[in-house]
Amino acid sequence: MMVSKSKIILVIDDDESLFRSIRALFHAEIGKDLLILHAPTGRTALAELEKKFVTVCIVDHKLPDMDGLDVLKVLHDRYSYIPSIYLSGFLDEELKEKVLSFDYGAYYTVDKPFLPDELIRKTLICLKEGGRNWANKLIRDYADTHRDPASKKKKIKREARLFTICEWIDKESGHWTSGMLARDLEVTPRTIQTDIRRLIELGKPIYTVGNKLFLRKDENKAK
């Protein structure tokens, strides 16, 4: 199963070798176009979540600066639309029940050392749910705009536009230009150019050939 690079997995674990193993496994079995980021500490992870449209988080139980449960709690309270998988070599029934409870909200637990098939299966489900949750979040935000101040309305509209631009380029890479996007989204070309720069800052692999917009996975086709 191939997954678009618009999907981002954040692996929160201080073990560099484990991260490389997970990245290699996912690229081999799920798809090389999947963007997999590494956060070796809880604070690094929270900073990444502020900047990136993360689809799924994989959280280790032991981190150098925070307990994995504390990270999971923040994810649940601030980013409940991002599915999480909890990794631990100490998963007894009590911890598993706590991690999966309403207070912490992990979708799944996985024992370490993990079974590749189990981690892949659970991650694929979370990727599907995470993409759907992002779309639903934007819809809910739009529905609430009449209760928001003007500044928040503007931010919500921009987030929805960024999501739309990314989806359109993902589906028709090499078809769109900034002018075409500006026309269909009813904004100025300068606004689209600013949005494209913001998407690149957020980790989206968008680049241009001439005036056409591509995703990195289609680079060979563009040439």
Q: What is the mean pLDDT of residues 13-36?
A: 93
Report pLDDT for 80: 86
pLDDT, tens digit (0-9, with 9 covering 90-100), for 146-175:
555 555 556 657 788 888 888 888 888 888
- Provide the whole-model pTM: 0.63
Structure tokens of 78?
């601030």
Lowest mean pLDDT among 6-10, 166-170, 217-221: 217-221
Structure tokens of 194?
């600013």
Report pLDDT for 53: 85
8-133 and 144-222 in the same fold? no
Domain at 144-222, CATH from 3.40.50.300, 3.40.50.2000, 1.10.10.10, 1.10.3720.10: 1.10.10.10
Report pLDDT for 2: 41
pLDDT, tens digit (0-9, with 9 covering 90-100), for 69-87:
999 999 988 888 899 999 9
- Taking a C-beta distance cutoff of 8 angstroms, is the pair 90, 61 a contact? yes
- Taking a C-beta distance cutoff of 8 angstroms, is the pair 71, 48 a contact? no
Distances (CA, A) of 169 to 8, 60, 85: 16, 33, 29
CATH number of the structural domain 8-133: 3.40.50.2300
Q: pLDDT class for 24, splitting at 50, 70, 90?
A: very high
Distances (CA, A) of 217 to 102, 126, 144, 192: 38, 22, 36, 21
Distances (CA, A) of 22 to 11, 31, 214: 8, 12, 27
How high is the mean pLDDT of the chain? 83
pLDDT, tens digit (0-9, with 9 covering 90-100), for 106-162:
999 999 999 999 999 999 999 888 877 766 666 566 555 555 555 555 665 778 888
Which residues, 6+ apart, have CB-to-CB distance to 205 below 8 Å?
5, 35, 215, 216, 217
**Measured CA angle at 97 (ends 117, 78), to 5 deg:** 85
Q: Give the domain ranges of the chain.
A: 8-133, 144-222
